[in-house]
Structure 1
Amino acid sequence: MENQIHTVLGANGAIGMAVIKELEARELQIRKVSSKSTGVNADLLSKEDAERAIAGSGYVYLCIGLPYNTKVWETQWPQIMQNVIDACEKAQAKLIFLDNIYMYASPLPVPFDESTPQNPNTKKGNARKQTADLMVKAFRENKIKGLIGRSADFYGEGAVNSPFYISFLERMLQNKGPQTLVPADIEHTYADVLDNGRALVELALNDDCYGEVWHLPVGKPITTNGMLALFNEKLRSNFEVSVMPTFLKNTLSFFTPILKEAKEMEYQFTQKYIMSDTKFIKRFPNFKVSSYKDGVDRMVESFKHIQK
């Protein structure tokens, strides 16, 4: 097992880098694959590229991100997943898929777990469910050995797509007040990127974890204001967060694509959104989940170099 190649698809992303860090700590053989070459360059929309990137692998970690655009997700995610499944089947490689939690619809139980019904009422949720269903079908039909690790909204080292970077930490590093699109006083659970990387490798190396969906570990429920206090502590600042009014969001969404894209997912932040990681923690009781303070400290340090 130890001498098999662990191929990371999406090696340049925050979670891909976290997986690589854990694999390096375990001194396992790594192949880094991304669209911006740091190792192997591959376009996973190409069946041939996917096969070339995965050939000879024992383990494949699908950790890529796509532009936050509904049409892109609807067309590209299923195609990428099918290409990767086919390549893993050909290589007889195990597939570990980093998924999100968009396929769970509102309203949600508090907390929600892996058994929560999947009836997405958003276009992005439908795209993610369709993609995950392809993989579930593949491992249930014994075409591949695979598992799905679902992450909550993540933050931490290098997490440029985190809700706590865009218009939040990036503004604080410029000595400006952080901004948010959603209420700052509603509890939410977040995942540290390094915890995600460690958890995915832990799952990958344990055969009994295959053929299942796993919620990756999260911190305890916390509000945006609670996270802000930790950022202020690290930066020795005293910022308050400004929440964009609904009428302004609605107006700007006509002209700002990312606001329009984010609108359908706002339900995740307008009610308690508490993800249960009980299944994972029961299986790995010695797994130490990072404190929000440690994750925030690492996140700030990782972005300090771009301060303007």
Structure 2
Amino acid sequence: MTKHVVVGAGPVGLAVTEHLRERGDDVAVVARHLSGRLPEGAEHRRIDVTDPALAKAAFEDADVVYHCAQPPYHLWPELFPDLTRGIVEGVEATGARLVVAENLYMYGDVDARITEDLPYAATGPKGRTRAKCARMVLDAHDEGRIEATIGRASDFFGPRVRESAVGEQVFGEAVEGKRARVFGNPKLPHTYTYVPDFARALVLLGERDEALGEAWHVPNPETVSTRRFVYLVYDAVGIDPGFPRILAVSGVPLTLGGYVSSPLSELLEQRHSFEAPYVVSDKKFRDTFGDAVTATPLETAIEETVAWYRDEAIATQPIRLSTDTDRPSEATHQ
């Protein structure tokens, strides 16, 4: 049986783990901290893989390693290269195959459809860091030190995704009956990636030899405007169509807001992607792998995400103690 090791226990790492466990595969998750429960049957290894020797120990029995980890957003330039270097050297020492989950920051400000052959033209620190890490992985492959492939996704949404342009500030607000907060011009088209689709694509890339040595844009649902995306979220929640659904922040307010609001400040480097059309092509993936992995239809993906947020809202509600004035119900008599 193939042994899979997933580095990172965020939304992407857990989605990969969940997909592998649903297939009955043997999976270990490497993470120093867990923010929630692992899928049933997954092993947890609390190891710091920035140290190549420890990474080697973590990957000793691995056939495929998935790099789905990332440091705190504001510390990417300081921490991401060492994290990636440790994983690459650990994989090299064990002979495992490496699959890396990436976003699209390395391309920088793009004025055309986003394809894999674009140059790494990012000028901001996070984009340059992503480019540096991608080159580190692909150079190691080209030098024959490792077997590696990269899957890239646009802005995430889906179960467990909270810190995203359409995470808590769209789905969370909608489920609570509040207005969504979006960045830039919501009338423009913007590609969003459903995390379970990303996970299935990463697993496929790790299984196919033709994926090696290249970066791939994973399958995405149909691209719509951010306004349309948000309206579909509120439709799934069941909010009245007349409800004012969007509070958009752009231009000068976005720039000024970045100094006092962490989510805004972290998006400043990527503001171009919200103030111009941002359309990602997954044609290369589809042409190569056919229908081995297809994107979940957008409305279905949104409905599944709303369901997760609702379940989380119920699970985190404080327990209200009954009082003498409460009316009795079946729930209080077990």
TM-score, reference length from structure 2? 0.86
Residue of 157, 177, 180 corresponding to 1:178:
180
> Structure 1 residues 245, 204: CA separation in 2 closer, same or farther (over 3 Å shift)?
closer
Q: In the alignment, what sits opposite 1:291?
A: 297
Q: In the alignment, what sits opposite 1:188?
A: 190
Q: How does 1:33-48 map to 2 (within 5 A)?
A: 33-37=30-34, 39-48=44-53
**Aligned-partner SS, 1:264:** helix
Aligned-partner Cα distance in 2 for 1:28–1:207: 19
Q: In the alignment, what sits opposite 1:23?
A: 20
Post-superposition shift, 1:285?
1.3
Aligned-partner Cα distance in 2 for 1:271–1:205: 36
Post-superposition shift, 1:245?
4.9
Whether the 8 Å contact between 1:157 and 1:295 is mirrored in structure 2 is: no
Aligned-partner Cα distance in 2 for 1:122–1:16: 26
Q: How does 1:204-243 map to 2 (within 5 A)?
A: 204-238=206-240, 239=243, 240-243=245-248
Aligned-partner Cα distance in 2 for 1:245–1:145: 42
Deviations 1:214-241 (A, max 9, x none): 1111122211111112111111103420
Deviations 1:107-130 (A, max 9, x none): 332x12111121112211101000
Whether the 8 Å contact between 1:55 and 1:91 is mirrored in structure 2 is: yes
1:88 aligns with 2:85: no
Aligned-partner Cα distance in 1 for 2:13–2:219: 17
Q: Which runs of 5+ in 2 are unaligned?
A: 39-43, 318-334
Q: In the alignment, what sits opposite 1:7?
A: 5
**Aligned-partner SS, 1:57:** coil
Aligned-partner Cα distance in 2 for 1:138–1:245: 40
Which one scores higher on RCO, CA 8 angstroms, separation ≥ 6? 1
Q: In the alignment, what sits opposite 1:126?
A: 128
Identical positions, percent: 25
Q: In the alignment, what sits opposite 1:273?
A: 278
1:251 aligns with 2:249: no
**Aligned-partner SS, 2:91:** helix
Q: Which amino acid aligns with 1:165?
A: G
> Structure 1 residues 154, 55: CA separation in 2 closer, same or farther (over 3 Å shift)?
same
Q: In the alignment, what sits opposite 1:140?
A: 142
Q: In the alignment, what sits opposite 2:267?
A: 262
Q: Which amino acid aligns with 1:176?
A: K
Aligned-partner Cα distance in 2 for 1:145–1:241: 45
> Structure 1 residues 30, 306: CA separation in 2 closer, same or farther (over 3 Å shift)?
closer
Q: In the alignment, what sits opposite 2:29?
A: 32
Q: In the alignment, what sits opposite 1:302?
A: 308
TM-score, reference length from structure 1? 0.93
Q: In the alignment, what sits opposite 1:102?
A: 105
Whether the 8 Å contact between 1:59 and 1:96 is mirrored in structure 2 is: yes
Segments of 4+ moved more than 6 angstroms: none
Deviations 1:171-209 (A, max 9, x none): 222221111122111101111111111111111111221
Q: Which amino acid aligns with 1:295?
A: A
